[in-house]
Amino acid sequence: MEIVSQNKCFGGVQTVYSHPSETCGVDMTFAVFMPPQARKQSVPLLWYLSGLTCNHENAMTKGGFQRYAAEHGLAVVFPDTSPRGEGVSDDNAYDLGQGAGFYVNATRAPWKPHFQMYDYIVNELREKLQEALPINGRHGITGHSMGGHGALTIALRNPSLYESVSAFAPIANPTQSDWGRKQLSAYLGDDEASWASYDASILLNDLGWKGDILIDQGADDQFLDLLRPEALTDVIAKKRQPAMIRMQDGYDHSYFFVSSFAEDHVAWHAERLHGNGN
């Protein structure tokens, strides 16, 4: 892990790192905010997974998470959304290829050699952070849009690794949406049965979740039909899953929406990561 940049922030430190990834086969860049409490003790870690076209920088600079993470004693990691660079497959469309890894393990050419974002997040980056930083082993995960999809699917498949999960405007039912069917077909092939393990609505129905879930969705989100929040809320009602789904009047899909509710999500995760929540 090489330091790319480092800045003092709300009494803590915001650092950008680069490292060679065995999982993705290229150098990967990510950002970590360490709160001031980490100077004296290990702290819980909140993962923030970003959406389409984003890299590590978008939420780091626009999300406003650091202030609240410093108040609650949480570290926050902002990974990239895909492998990048020379030799990494890409597409002319904004929603496939570099910047659009969808947090899956690709099994189909030309994506398979590098697009292993599920394993990168769940295994490789987690292990590197635990080894290198004062992280106490309690992890929460959240994300926006494609990253909300990633947060939900990763947590639901790995309940022993995460104490809490939330999402901002997640792609909730990608197997039935144009934000999903295109990418899952490209990365995984045409066998739709293989797509189910990357669909939060299907996973929640099949696996459930050990605790409660927080989801914020802008009621004026311009991509609402692609996100399909109703599919997830139907499963929540059917399974009687403890959850809070908030349709936020007047909010769209932008980082203005994310930053408006960042405080709520950080505080919500802090309660559960510090052992005081559901």
User: Which sequence positions are flagged as catalytic?
Assistant: 145, 221, 253
Instruction: Give CA separation, 45 vs 30, 67, 91, 259, in Å.
Output: 14, 15, 33, 19
Q: How far apart are CA 187 and CA 183, in angstroms?
A: 6
Contact 43, 134 (CB under 8 A): yes
Q: Is the bond leading into 229 cis (omega within 30 degrees of zero)? A: no
> What strands, in cross-sheet order, belong to the sheet with 12-20?
2-9, 12-20, 27-34, 75-79, 43-49, 135-143, 164-168, 213-218, 243-248
Within 10 angstroms of residue 58's Cβ, the number of other Cβ atoms is 19
Q: How far apart are CA 229 and CA 177, in angstroms?
A: 11
- Which letter does DSSP use for residue 123 in this model? I
Q: Enumerate the β-bridge partners of residue 123.
A: none
